[in-house]
Structure 1
Amino acid sequence: MYTHYTTRQLVLPMDIEILIPDHHLCRIVDATVEKIDPRLFIPLHPGGGRPPYPPKMMLKMILYAYTNRIYSSRQIAKQLGENIYFMWLSENQKPDFRTINRFRSERMKDVIYETFFSLVDLLRQEGLVKLEDYFLDGTKIEANANKYTFVWRKSTEKYDQKLDEKFQQIVTSIEEVTREDEQAEKETDFQGKWEETPITSEKIEETIKKVEKRLEQHPKNRTLKKAKRQLEKDLLPRKQKYEEQKATFGERNSFSKTDPDATFMRMKDDPMKNGQLKPGYNVQMGTEGQFITGFSLHQRAGDPGCLIPHFEVLEQYNRPKPKALIGDSGYGSEENYVYCEKKEIEAYVKYSTFDKEQTKTWKNQVGRLENMTYDEEQDEWMCANNKRLTFRYEKKQKSDNGYESIKRVYLCADCHGCPFQASCAKGKETKRITVSMENQKQRKDVRERLATEEGERKYSQRKIDVEPVFGQIKHNRQFHRFSLRGLSKNTVEWGLICAAHNLIKWTLKLNQRSKEPQIRG
């Protein structure tokens, strides 16, 4: 005999909420979103048309999907008719995949940071984070773009220069065939005018109009007809394309045709092991206790220039300033040290050569600046052979963020016959060093700060705080590639990923507390 089984009999309970455990993740998602200020979602729907789905319901549904590694709007829509947790969160409402995607990619882009930081504030109220220590790190996430449809700045500039040369040749040919017409020559001196100013699409259009006027006087002139055809069909469209590409580049050296906001970067995930560049975004993230407390997306590949823009995002949303910043040597630049000092943030950030300076090999390299002695009174550096390097001149260097550093150049006047010349001067006649005195002072402070017991503790904590979070997202959550296109849309998606991570972590904490033995009085 078998147990009773039928699919056509009414079974109690009818309320599916009874089937959901008390500390289930979907309950945490529901309770968290309900605590968010409802005024935050008012601007999402301007009004008109049929009544929209409740924003809180849509947000709960998407967040819960992201906690379950469901990133496709079609798959989310499918779960609404099959999964009781999705049914409970949506109250059996079933928006289609277009509605879900529109809410995620368009509606949420203006409030994603407010939504995420509201969740962080709830974590702070629960005592899970203090927002005092900020563990910062970055990673690169591949964009949802074709890997082979790239545009490079150098190529665009090269082709644009060739186009300008061709334009000059055409203008010269026009001038030659119209030189006999004294009146036309007085009206426009093509050659002299275009050499003075840069060639733009507007100038090419202006040239086409002038050629048309001359054709009215000489309708059978083949040279003018050919020049007009070349300018209209070839040069003008290409010049407009190059101008658009240069505007898209901004400060970057590349972008993808299928996602112009994405920049080609080197990824850690390189199955072919050939250093292939892929379109992607540089994701910066701050954590505390493996909870994500801040994030930002950037189009530049290097981490040093992302620190200040990242903190500017936090300031924009009035986030509490951390007392300490802990980051790896990728952020150890003079500009970043100055910024932290200005904002009164204690920086536990190594510089690029910090670990190498501790090795015996480094200490034996006599040509290294760190192995020389500085005479502050004479403003001179003394090398291993007691030769003095005297100051010659200063130069300024500006970063991508506009920070201007001062570099001082010192030269040794007596390198001839020195036994260390080959290794110290690297085959040159005289030894030259370029020094930022401000950065030397910063490095000294960093060494002293990291040598303290507090510094060692905080920096060692970084390896088990922020780095495992990236591993959790990229490996366990299987999020290696964005599903949307564009910087603003991908910022929304990464914000949802961060919020989902915090909700999963919060649920684990609650479940641990519920399993702890209760002490009875």
Structure 2
Amino acid sequence: MSKFIIGTNRNQLPLFATSIDDAIAQDNEIRLIDLFVDSLKLSDFGFNFEFVENGRPAYHPSDLLKLFIYGYLNRMRSSRTLEKECSRNIELIWLMKGLVPDHNTISNFRKDNPKAIARVFRATVKMAAHFELIGGTLVAGDSTKLRAQNSKKNNFNPAKIERHIAYIDARLQEYNAALAKEDGDSENNKIITKKIQKHTNQKQKYIEYQNTIDTTGVTQISTSDPDSRQIMTRNNISEVAYTVQTVVDAQHNIPIDFKVTNENDSKAMGGMLRRSKTILGHNNFTAIYDKGYHTGSEFKYANMLGIDVLVAIPGVAAHAPDLAFDVEHFKYNKDNDSYTCPANEILTTNGNWYNKTNGKSITKMKHYKTAGCLSCVFFSQCTKNKKGRLIERSQYADLIYENKIRMENNYEIYRKRQAIVEHPYGVIKRQWGFYYIMTKKTIKHASADVGLIFTAYNLRRIFNLIDQNLLKQYLKMLTLFVLAIRSFFKAFYAYTISYPKLNIYSKKYLTGA
């Protein structure tokens, strides 16, 4: 008798043949993935069902969607990895029914369906709402940076282009001076001429980059992934990346919305609130954001939507020589539109609005000042301006003040922000390792990748929170409904075969069912 456990003989035939379905446990979550995708009428989601009839048949979008959801849930995003797993992973062999799509087919499906994938994500939100996993009373918004497939070396802004051109001009000057000392037919002359040509071509490339920036208004050029931008990520560290805005419901940390951008947070809150209102179906919720979203125009948008926001208040941009004379200590008098300073002087306005530009945005400001400033004993403590203290009041000042009051009265609610919104980022970036964008070329392709990430995250939350048997019953019910509708249109199609105007609608439905 051997003292080791011995495996079975690979060449031995089993006594009882079993199907591949028997190899997959009934509680394996891959069965939930299969049911989830089957419960969706993908033609309504915008997936492409129009394929040429001659040539090799196409893969059904449902099969490729199942493949991607399984891959993302198991930390596999590469199309080549997924292709390989289709032929050796018994779970995928079961899920794909033995199909092994080419990696180009897999990659193109993700790249070509960003809007449809976003609707699949919406389906996960809808399913979470059905099981009352979304409270809809408190949400938190924030962004995370996902690194793009573009190195810093291949990202250019005007200052960087200018440095490259200056370097090339210096080298060209050196090479031309060296060339003047060489004989016309020497070997060294040919080497220098080649270097001059190489640097001249490089200079022309940078000039073209600068012309693109001047004519299109873009601030940066990324050569590998054109829509990506060099963005500050943390502690003055920058990466060429995309910004992913998300809104997360507080009840179970489930994202209800996402949007991929290449801009900072300052103008993002309003649009995300509008979409959240549509998704939740009401505006009776509170949204909490950090200080990066503290922008007057966004408060105006939130007020127009009727949504209460709690946005952290940033520190004072510029301090007075004595902190006791910072602008926060100037009391505004709404009745007569004036300010009272800490020295009890009254600062008044002429009522005119002045435009203040900050990047691309323009904010209207009123100016407040007093003639008593120049004779005030606290002058040197209050300001360094020789003409006296000037207070600016934004057109959004009332809304900013209302947010300040809400923050003071609801700070304990605001403190929940990180625990709510950072939870998905921790899972996605730290546990799953999805800290970069898998796709290249455009922001639409990046959106498809992010859409699959958040679809997988929401499904993981639902699978963990809902009893599997209950979830299976729900998904089977939806699947039967979809099949019933399809059967109806099959019968309708057969009935209307001789009525072209009616038949075209049933045919359109069936080709996407």
| Shorter-chain TM-score tier | 0.7 to 0.9
Aligned twin of 1:104 = 110
Quickly say closer, same or farther: Cα 1:490–1:314, change in 2 above 3 A.
farther
Whether 1:396 and 2:399 are equivalent positions in the alignment is no
Aligned twin of 2:155 = 150
Aligned twin of 1:137 = 142
Aligned twin of 1:462 = 417
- Secondary structure of the structure 2 residue equivalent to 1:464: helix
Aligned twin of 2:290 = 328
Q: Distance in 2 between matches of 1:500 and 1:314?
A: 20
Partner residue of 2:307 out of 333, 338, 345: 345
Aligned twin of 2:453 = 497
Q: Distance in 1 between matches of 2:385 and 2:140?
A: 43
**1:395, 1:406 within 8 Å by CA — same for their partners in 2?**
yes
Whether 1:303 and 2:306 are equivalent positions in the alignment is no
Pairs within 5 Å for 1:241-320: 242-246=210-214, 249-250=217-218, 253-268=219-234, 275-288=236-249, 289-300=252-263, 302-311=264-273, 320=281
Displacement of 1:291 after TM fit? 1.0
Q: Distance in 1 between matches of 2:213 and 2:22?
A: 58
Root mean square deviation of aligned Cα: 3.4
- Secondary structure of the structure 2 residue equivalent to 1:44: coil
Aligned twin of 2:491 = none
- Secondary structure of the structure 1 residue equivalent to 2:415: helix
For residues 31-72 of structure 1, the C-alpha deviation after alignment (integer angstroms, 9 at most, x for no partner) is 221221232366514211321111111101111111111111
Whether 1:83 and 2:39 are equivalent positions in the alignment is no
- Secondary structure of the structure 1 residue equivalent to 2:153: coil
Q: 2:306 is aligned with what amino acid?
A: E
Q: 1:277 is aligned with what amino acid?
A: S
**2:117, 2:451 within 8 Å by CA — same for their partners in 1?**
yes
Displacement of 1:280 after TM fit? 0.7
Quickly say closer, same or farther: Cα 1:314–1:438, change in 2 above 3 A.
closer
**1:366, 1:372 within 8 Å by CA — same for their partners in 2?**
no
Aligned twin of 2:48 = 44
Pairs within 5 Å for 1:411-430: 411-416=369-374, 418-426=376-384, 428-430=386-388
Q: Distance in 2 between matches of 1:426 and 1:305?
A: 32
For residues 217-259 of structure 1, the C-alpha deviation after alignment (integer angstroms, 9 at most, x for no partner) is xxxxxxxxxxxxxxxx999998765443445553xx2231211
Aligned twin of 2:129 = 124
**2:71, 2:82 within 8 Å by CA — same for their partners in 1?**
yes
For residues 139-172 of structure 1, the C-alpha deviation after alignment (integer angstroms, 9 at most, x for no partner) is 1111111221222145669999xxxxxxxxxxxx
- Secondary structure of the structure 2 residue equivalent to 1:95: coil
Q: 1:244 is aligned with what amino acid?
A: T
Q: Distance in 1 between matches of 2:163 and 2:275?
A: 36
For residues 121-151 of structure 1, the C-alpha deviation after alignment (integer angstroms, 9 at most, x for no partner) is 1111122114443311111111111221222
Q: 1:338 is aligned with what amino acid?
A: K
Aligned twin of 2:463 = 507
Displacement of 1:367 after TM fit? 2.3
For residues 485-518 of structure 1, the C-alpha deviation after alignment (integer angstroms, 9 at most, x for no partner) is 120100000010001111111111136999xxxx
**1:367, 1:423 within 8 Å by CA — same for their partners in 2?**
yes
**2:34, 2:66 within 8 Å by CA — same for their partners in 1?**
yes
Whether 1:114 and 2:119 are equivalent positions in the alignment is yes
Q: Give ranges in structure 1 of 5+ residues lacking alignment.
A: 161-232, 515-521
Whether 1:57 and 2:16 are equivalent positions in the alignment is no
Higher mean Cα deviation, 13-22 or 476-485?
Answer: 13-22
Q: Distance in 1 between matches of 2:430 and 2:204?
A: 49
Displacement of 1:476 after TM fit? 0.8
Displacement of 1:399 after TM fit? 6.6
Quickly say closer, same or farther: Cα 1:57–1:131, change in 2 above 3 A.
farther
Displacement of 1:16 after TM fit? 3.0
Q: Give ranges in structure 2 of 5+ residues lacking alignment.
A: 166-200, 471-513
Aligned twin of 2:438 = 483
With normalisation by structure 1, the TM-score equals 0.73
Whether 1:369 and 2:327 are equivalent positions in the alignment is yes
Quickly say closer, same or farther: Cα 1:158–1:418, change in 2 above 3 A.
farther
Pairs within 5 Å for 1:60-71: 60-71=66-77
Quickly say closer, same or farther: Cα 1:353–1:42, change in 2 above 3 A.
closer
Aligned twin of 1:519 = none
Q: Distance in 2 between matches of 1:411 and 1:43?
A: 61
- Secondary structure of the structure 1 residue equivalent to 2:369: strand
Q: How many residues align?
A: 423
**Percent sequence identity over matched residues?**
22
Q: Distance in 2 between matches of 1:61 and 1:421?
A: 70
Displacement of 1:13 after TM fit? 5.8
- Secondary structure of the structure 1 residue equivalent to 2:43: helix
Aligned twin of 2:79 = 73
Displacement of 1:297 after TM fit? 0.8
Partner residue of 1:444 out of 390, 401, 404: 401
**1:249, 1:255 within 8 Å by CA — same for their partners in 2?**
no
Quickly say closer, same or farther: Cα 1:368–1:237, change in 2 above 3 A.
closer
**1:366, 1:420 within 8 Å by CA — same for their partners in 2?**
no
Partner residue of 2:337 out of 379, 382, 393: 379
**1:255, 1:279 within 8 Å by CA — same for their partners in 2?**
no
Aligned twin of 1:14 = 18
Q: Distance in 2 between matches of 1:13 and 1:461?
A: 56
Quickly say closer, same or farther: Cα 1:512–1:431, change in 2 above 3 A.
farther
- Secondary structure of the structure 2 residue equivalent to 1:137: strand
Q: Distance in 2 between matches of 1:98 and 1:33?
A: 22
Q: Distance in 1 between matches of 2:283 and 2:31?
A: 31
With normalisation by structure 2, the TM-score equals 0.74
Displacement of 1:394 after TM fit? 2.4
Aligned twin of 2:180 = none
Quickly say closer, same or farther: Cα 1:10–1:464, change in 2 above 3 A.
farther
